[in-house]
Amino acid sequence: MDSPAKPSLIERISALLSREPEDRDDLLALLHAAFERDLLDGDALSIIEGALQMSDMQVHDVMVPRAQMDCVSLADPVEEIAGFVVDKGHSRFPAIGEGKDDVVGILLAKDLLRYFSGREFDLSGMLRPAVFIPESKRLNVLLREFRVSHNHMAIVVDEYGGVAGLVTIEDVLEQIVGDIEDEYDLDDIGDSIRLAYDGRYRVKATTGIEDFNKAFATHFCDDEYETIGGLLMRKFGRLPQRGDVVELEGLRFQVLRADTRRLHSLLVEVLTQAPSGAGAATGRTAAD
């Protein structure tokens, strides 16, 4: 006599969810119960939670603030723009005219290959159209629009029509799947501490405190936290946001990348001398 077929994963999850959840908290409780019974693995649960959380978020929650936007100016010589693009390492750059409120298009780094090949190059003619969206747009709606239009970057404007920042498809996807190592992040193969083009250092938040101390001759204690990111979260007293700044032991730490779950990367500047009152955390800068 044949033994009954083992129920599939979908059938087991369906059986668990046979009672219709009354609200989101009820749904999450059922999903966690599925995880505890090995019907869902940890990654799947995290992705589902991230997708649910993303549906409640707006663009201003994840955008790169105006002050942190890396833009190319049409007034600059092409060779200067090319050097800037190489140093920054992004794949897309807003191209501006008179200022950051005058975004005239998007420059794709790969389009500069024509310039490097020595062929005739018209920067204005290479620009792709810029997409403008409000700060209040919901992330799930934006993700759908990114997929339909095949755009990977949008310029965020405030209620007065001024540029407030920019957002990429990576910023949205990271709310679902977590950090994505890409052009904005440090080389996964390289060191956790790398010298940036302007003399500052890009540092992974997962860098061990012991390794950080050796690199910068600091004396941060690693009794409570193992990583520099964990130490900074303690100093801020919260999960810091992109653009937040704190000064410690003669170093200026600026948050480069962070999401609603963790800190990813930092920009570290060695100060000429430790300012008075060092150690106080500040919000993101308002400089243009």
Give tens-digit pLDDT for 108-166. 988 888 777 767 777 888 889 999 999 999 998 998 999 898 889 999 998 888 999 99
Residue 221 to residue 210: CA distance in whole angstroms: 8
pLDDT of residue 170: 85
Q: What are phi and psi of 263, to 5 degrees?
A: -95, 135
- How far is the C-alpha of 232 from the C-alpha of 224, rounded, in Å? 12
Check residues 253 and 197 and name the one with the higher pLDDT. Answer: 253
Say whether pLDDT at 103 is over 90.
Answer: yes
Q: Which residues touch 71 (CB under 8 Å, ≥6 apart)?
A: 93, 94, 95, 96, 100, 103
Helix (H) or strand (E) holding 248: strand 245-248
pLDDT at res. 150: 87
Looking at the chain, the number of H-run helices and the number of E-run strands are 10, 13
Give the three-class secondary structure for 189.
coil
Which CA distances in Å does 89 have to 65, 81, 108, 251, 265? 18, 12, 11, 24, 15
Going by pLDDT thresholds of 50, 70 and 90, the confidence category of residue 286 is very low
Closest CA to 111 of 134, 85, 133: 85
Give the sign of the dihedral formed by CA 41, CA 46, CA 49, CA 54.
negative
- What secondary structure does DSSP assign to 105-174, as a single string? EEEEGGGGHHHHTTS---HHHHPBPPPEEETT-BHHHHHHHHHHH---EEEEE-TTS-EEEEEEHHHHHH
Per DSSP, the three-state class of 207 is coil
Q: Does the CA dihedral 71-269-227-203 come out positive or negative?
A: positive
Residue (of 230, 249, 226) closest to 240 by Cα position: 230
In this prediction, residue 186 has a pLDDT band, given cuts at 50, 70 and 90, of very low
Domains, the chain, ordered by start: 17-56 (no CATH), 60-177 (3.10.580.10), 193-270 (3.30.465.10)
| Banded model confidence at residue 104, pLDDT cuts 50, 70, 90 | very high
Q: What's the CA gap between 242 and 254, in Å, rounded?
A: 8
Quick check: 22 pLDDT over 70? no
Rg (CA), the chain: 23
